[in-house]
């Protein structure tokens, strides 16, 4: 997820779910920025050894730049390079990247073939069901990718035109998994252990979880160990997570950049906490930290009646502003 799965967030998730996360994936990284030497873009690939196995997901259109970027990922030390063919964001598809590649299968085939020849680390792709209901070509794209040497395919069961609305088509994911000889992983609507059980059927090899990790960073271990939610209503635990996230953010980002990233997690994870709304009115990480200390120490009390709850649909909509994968 662009702007979300930064190194601090990935490290937080790994810490909170020991042994339960099979793979972490970078923010998706522009090959234009990578191959033109953008320091900000290159910084997005940074990772810690404790994050392994670690995958860098790249997006773009130009065959040569995609190939060069994949080589950079390999040289950088990542375990896997992934080609994003699923992002629906207009700013990505209008430049030929993301889900637009599914509308140009011959060009995508050329990219995959070139990248596969260039790198020795595993190559995977992320796709959607298709562009729209009239062009659901995930099966054809997945078969082509397998033929070109891709080691695994992740499928988000919505079309590009759906964005994040409606239900993901997991029947499609399972049908493709039955046919391909390489691992097929599913994405979309995995929000708790029950939904994970429902979707991990047949030959589906695994699950990708994105937005739900913002609502509940413990979701991976809860799924693996068949546990109830540790976080729901546990405001002391929320505070522990937030304090640790502040520490991790400060290790990687300037103080001025931490506040917005902190609020991405706090706004989604702290539903139901009476202190959530006043927390989100603050802008700097220092203000957030000081306020949370007051809450933890019992020095803050709500004024009047504070309502802080939204429907699941509203929660998903609010998350879509930064969910791109």
Q: Which contiguous run of DSSP H or E holds residue 129?
A: strand 123-130
Judge contact between 292 and 276, C-beta under 8 A: no
Q: Which of 266, 224, 227 is nearest to 245 (CA)?
A: 266
Active-site residue 85, yes or no?
A: no
Q: Which contiguous run of DSSP H or E holds residue 124?
A: strand 123-130
C-alpha 150/C-alpha 123 separation (Å) is 5
User: Which single residue is written with the structure tokens 């990687």?
Assistant: 252
Q: Which contiguous run of DSSP H or E holds residue 282?
A: none
User: Which single residue is written with the structure tokens 């959530």?
Assistant: 276
Judge contact between 128 and 134, C-beta under 8 A: no
Q: Which of 153, 146, 216, 145 is nearest to 187 (CA)?
A: 153
User: From the candidates 55, 85, 87, 258, which is the catalytic residue?
Assistant: 87
Q: For residue 52, give Cα distances in angstroms to 25, 279, 303.
A: 10, 33, 45
Q: What is the dihedral of CA 257, 259, 260, 263, to 10 degrees?
A: 150
3-class DSSP state of 173: helix
C-alpha 220/C-alpha 73 separation (Å) is 26
Active site residue ranges: 87
């Amino acid at each position: 997820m662009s702007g979300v799965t930064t190194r601090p967030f990935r490290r937080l998730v790994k810490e909170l779910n020991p042994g339960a996360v099979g793979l972490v994936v970078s923010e998706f990284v522009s090959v234009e920025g990578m191959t033109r030497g953008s320091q900000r873009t290159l910084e997005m690939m940074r990772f810690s050894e404790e994050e392994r196995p670690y995958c860098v997901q790249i997006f773009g259109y130009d065959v040569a730049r995609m190939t060069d970027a994949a080589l950079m990922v390999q040289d950088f030390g990542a375990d896997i390079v992934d080609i994003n063919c699923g992002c629906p964001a207009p700013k990505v598809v209008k430049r030929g990247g993301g889900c637009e590649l599914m509308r140009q299968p011959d060009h995508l085939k050329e990219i995959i073939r070139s990248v596969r020849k260039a790198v020795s680390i595993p190559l995977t792709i992320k796709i959607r069901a298709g562009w729209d209901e009239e062009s659901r070509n995930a099966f054809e794209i997945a078969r082509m990718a397998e033929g070109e040497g891709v080691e695994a395919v992740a499928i988000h069961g919505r079309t590009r035109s759906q964005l994040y609305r409606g239900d993901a088509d997991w029947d499609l994911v399972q049908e493709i998994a039955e046919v391909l000889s390489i691992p097929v992983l599913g994405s979309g609507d995995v929000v708790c252990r029950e939904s994970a059980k429902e979707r991990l059927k047949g030959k589906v090899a695994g699950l990708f979880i994105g937005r739900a990790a913002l609502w509940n960073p413990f979701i991976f271990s809860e799924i693996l160990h068949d546990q109830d939610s540790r976080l729901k209503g546990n405001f002391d635990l929320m505070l522990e997570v937030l304090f640790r996230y502040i520490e991790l953010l400060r290790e990687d980002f300037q103080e001025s950049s931490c506040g917005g990233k902190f609020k991405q997690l706090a706004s989604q994870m702290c539903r139901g906490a009476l202190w959530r709304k006043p927390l989100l009115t603050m802008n700097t990480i220092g203000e957030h930290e000081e306020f949370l200390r007051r809450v933890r120490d019992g020095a803050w009390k709500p004024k009047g009646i504070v309502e802080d709850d939204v429907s699941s649909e509203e929660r998903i909509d609010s998350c879509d502003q930064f969910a791109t994968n």
